[in-house]
Structure 1
Amino acid sequence: MAAQFCPTCANLLIVEIGRQSNSAFRCRTCPYIYHIREKLTSKQLIARKEVDDVLGGAEAWKDVDQTDAHCPKCAHGRAYFRQMQTRSADEPMTTFYRCTQCAHNWKED
């Protein structure tokens, strides 16, 4: 691939797109032009990282209390709940729920 900087004045080259094979890298300050002769592409797949459970995983739900709350997924009437401070200290705590039947998670601000 051609340099991304002008060899004459060291300014960044811009891509000037033309018809079919008339595209080029062009310098904005001097008359330098580098004609693009072929299309070059590269693709690199990045391995995904493991996602940490922000609610602490299964261990965090081990010793929590239950309450009457209707699950939005299965409409069951009981759920585990925990409260966490997710915003600034002058804001109310966020309540997280987990259905006792289907284990669906939801929150209430």
Structure 2
Amino acid sequence: MEFCPTCGNMLLYELPNMGRPARFFCSACPYVCHIENRVKIKRRQRLVRKEIEPVISHDDMKNAPTAEVPCPKCSHDKAAYTEFQTRSADEPATIFYLCLNEKCKHQWRD
């Protein structure tokens, strides 16, 4: 979406016609911007992934209550859980689980 630099209205798109290139034009003022067929990318910038912070850390789950819920990764039968309201009030709360198997420590939500 492009806007007119003179009056600020949204520019309209016109298809190429009779040898004239495609263009953006303003319906309120005489501004016209011709579109080039070939666009050159001058510089590519690599995106850097940010580190994702966990919603609940392992320290938060130390004093959490436990339940007999099987771990989807190792099938251990006990997990610590915490409940948070992550959506609006009329939606059900999200339950976060942490496997109590010392080797697994898998975290999932329900």
| Alignment deviations for residues 25-73 of structure 1 (CA, whole Å, 9 cap, x no partner) | 2122455433234535576555544433222x12212233433211122
- Structure (1 or 2) with the greater strand fraction: 1
Change (3 A) 1:68 1:12: closer
The 1-side partners of 2:68 and 2:97 are apart by 10
The count of residues paired between Structure 1 and Structure 2 equals 101
Q: Which runs of 5+ in 1 are unaligned?
A: none
TM-score by length of 2: 0.59
Counterpart position of 1:99? 99
Q: 1:76–1:27: structure 2 CA closer, same or farther, 3 Å change rule?
A: same
Gaps of 5+ in 2: none
Q: Hey, what's the Cα distance between the residues in 1 that align with 2:26 and 2:62?
A: 63
Q: Which runs of 4+ in 1 moved over 6 A?
A: none
Equivalent residue, structure 2, for 1:33 = 32
The percentage of counterpart residues that share the same residue type is: 34
- Cα RMSD (Å): 3.5
Q: Matches of residues 16-27 of structure 1 in structure 2 within 5 Å?
A: 16-18=14-16, 22-27=21-26
Cα distance in 1 for residues equivalent to 2:5 and 2:31:
7
Q: Distance in 1 between matches of 2:51 and 2:63?
A: 25
Q: Distance in 2 between matches of 1:28 and 1:83?
A: 55
Equivalent residue for 1:54? 55
Pairing 1:13–2:11 present: yes
